[in-house]
Amino acid sequence: MSPPSEVRVRIAPSPSGFLHVGTARTSIYNWLFARHHRGKFILRIEDTDLERSDPELVEVILEGLRWLGLNWDEQPYYQSKRFEVYPSYAEKLLQQGKAYHCYCSPELLKQKREEAIREKRSVKYDRHCLRLSEEEKKRLEAEAPPKAIRIKIPPGETSFHDLVYGDLSYDNADIDDLIIMRSDGRPTYNFACVVDDYEMKISHVIRGNDHIPNTYKQLLLYEALGITPPQFAHLPLSLGIDRSKISKRDGAVAITDYRQMGFLPEAMVNFLALLGWSPGDDRELMSTSELIEAFSLERVSQSNPVFDIEKLKWMNGEYIRSRDDNELVPLAAPFLIEAGLTTKLAVEIRWEYMKKVVGLLKGRCRLLTDFAELGRYFFTDKFDYEPEGVKKHFSSPECNPWLASLAERYSSLQKFDLQAIETSLRGLAEELGISAAKLIHPTRLATTGMTKGPSLFELLEVLGREEVVERLERAVDFIRGNPTPADKTDTG
RNA sequence: GUCCCCAUCGUCUAGCCCGGUCUAGGACCACGCCCUUUCACGGCGUAAACAGGGGUUCGAAUCCCCUUGGGGACACCA
């Protein structure tokens, strides 16, 4: 299906201080759709509710979109800067008798609503102000109380073809005469949305399925205004682990939280794109350009998916592994600095060292924070030996002389390179008549404090002879029951 | 209370529109084996689903209805 004219989609967040993962996902779908059709991706800030809006909060949303790599076209639009465009549309409806003034106070309406809920009646405006007599209207006009404008919903049925859900329809009798202009002259959401989508020539409205009820209202507004509505596509809502809307209970709602947790934006985009959409084959790891190429609204599913962070972590690990060491250094560095293991300057000075460290670690990382977690010993010798490891590898009586001999061998090596490190350790094991493993495990524990990690020989080479020998000797002392206080920190 | 939407492994999903090729495929997670100095990666394998009930049909995961379950919406918020 190829849209007739230019594809123009929009994402319309309200400034709340953060970019919600749900909004991020909706943005991704809109963006993929726009890029697939070589159309435009518009950003519109819905800040008509002045009480709750703050220009500063907008920047956080833009930052989130930038991080994900969702570049927008044209300048962002702000509804708050467009207040002058809405009244004329409302005026037109008023003149045609398709809308009417409502003098009911918010307090009164609230009261009526609460009453309806209490009496378990359906909550709907009673059209009190539509039925006003001419005298009453005159009297009210003379008093000049604040008045809002309501759309008069005609009887009938409203239906449309949703690009995801198919044919949908709704009885107009269940739709309220909603307020389109507040008494202070500002438009309400549904009205501003219609006017803006029209003026911005939006071709497809792609948003969460929680907006389906709004779509009927907006369709009625389009009809009253006599303008052609865009096409609609509603997305299944991504749910938290408890199956309700994603909330703080699920760990994180702001996209920036995921950045802090050590996720890569590409993994985030890939994962979120697949949450409710699939290319139809078995592909899962997809680059952004593959996603753009394959994306279509027809393949969006209709049921609400659960956001499973475990799968996201797996995917993130795949992305970390596929990145080359040079790219990975700047990605991992902030987390190492955050953990106090190095500094920005040190990273630059010891770039080659960083590259090797990151290269050794990346196969085991699922999050960027794992680099700090698993690689501490590359930056400091201030670490404790894993108690389990001590029990397992430092307890045999022969272990100590073995480590001492290894330290001796290493210090007398001509060249401390991978080849020599391995040959000399294996040679020693053979001379001692033990398996190499018997020597490898204590050595790993002595030099890293850990029982697991990258290839021992490779990490020893990266650590360097001096550091390795020193750490071996310290372990020998420790085993003798006379541990050396570890206080040397290598920051660079 | 009223209305709307949805329903395949624990989770994400393929298959559904155009019934037979489905003893239901892939992925995450779990478990086992292999590789291996450890961990991880990788490879191989195991466990795991058509919500229930009625129809229609020679035949239903696929079409229809009901039940149940889940989600969402009903503001001078967006």
Select from A245, A259, A249, A363 the least CA-distant residue to A312: A259
Which nucleotides of strand B come closer than 7 angstroms to any CB of the protein?
1-8, 10-15, 25-29, 37-42, 70-78
Query: Two tokens at A278?
Result: 């699939």
Q: Report how far apart, in Å, the C-alpha atoms of A257 and of each of A237, A264, A450 are.
A: 20, 12, 29
- What mean pLDDT, rounded, does chain A reach? 92
Query: Hey, which residues does A166 pair with through a beta bridge?
Result: A162
Q: Which nucleotide is nearest to A50 (CA to C1')?
A: B77
pLDDT tens across A177-227, in order?
A: 999 999 999 999 999 999 999 999 999 999 999 999 999 999 999 999 999
The domains of chain A are located at: 1-78+236-322, 86-181, 323-378, 387-479
Gap from A366 CA to B8 C1', in Å?
A: 30
Looking at CATH, the fold of the domain delimited by A323-378 is given as Helicase, Ruva Protein; domain 3 (1.10.8)
A398 vs A100 pLDDT, higher one: A100
pLDDT tens across A21-72, in order?
A: 999 999 999 999 999 999 999 999 998 876 666 778 899 999 999 999 999 9
Give dist(CA A77, CA A200) in Å, integer.
Answer: 10
Q: How confident is the model at residue A483 (pLDDT cuts 50, 70, 90)?
A: very low
Gap from A213 CA to B23 C1', in Å?
A: 44
CATH homologous superfamily of A1-78+236-322 equals: HUPs (3.40.50.620)
Percent of chain A whose pLDDT exceeds 70: 95
pLDDT tens across A298-349, in order?
A: 999 999 999 999 999 999 999 999 999 999 999 999 999 999 999 999 999 9
Matching CATH topology for A86-181 and A323-378?
A: no
What number is the ipTM of this complex?
A: 0.96
Smallest Cα–C1' distance to nucleotide B17: which residue has it? A166
Q: What top-level class would CATH report for the domain A387-479?
A: mainly alpha
Radius of gyration, alpha carbons of chain A: 32
- Length, in residues, of chain A: 492
CATH homologous superfamily of A86-181 equals: Glutamyl-tRNA Synthetase; Domain 3 (3.90.800.10)
Residues of A with catalytic function: 248
Find how far residue A314's CA is from the centre of its chain: 15
Q: What is the DSSP string of A15-75?
A: --SS-BHHHHHHHHHHHHHHHHTT-EEEEEE----GGG--HHHHHHHHHHHHHHT-PPSSP
pLDDT tens across A139-183, in order?
A: 988 888 899 999 999 999 999 999 999 999 999 999 999 999 999
Give dist(CA A487, CA A383) in Å, integer.
Answer: 9
What does the pLDDT read at residue A97?
Answer: 95
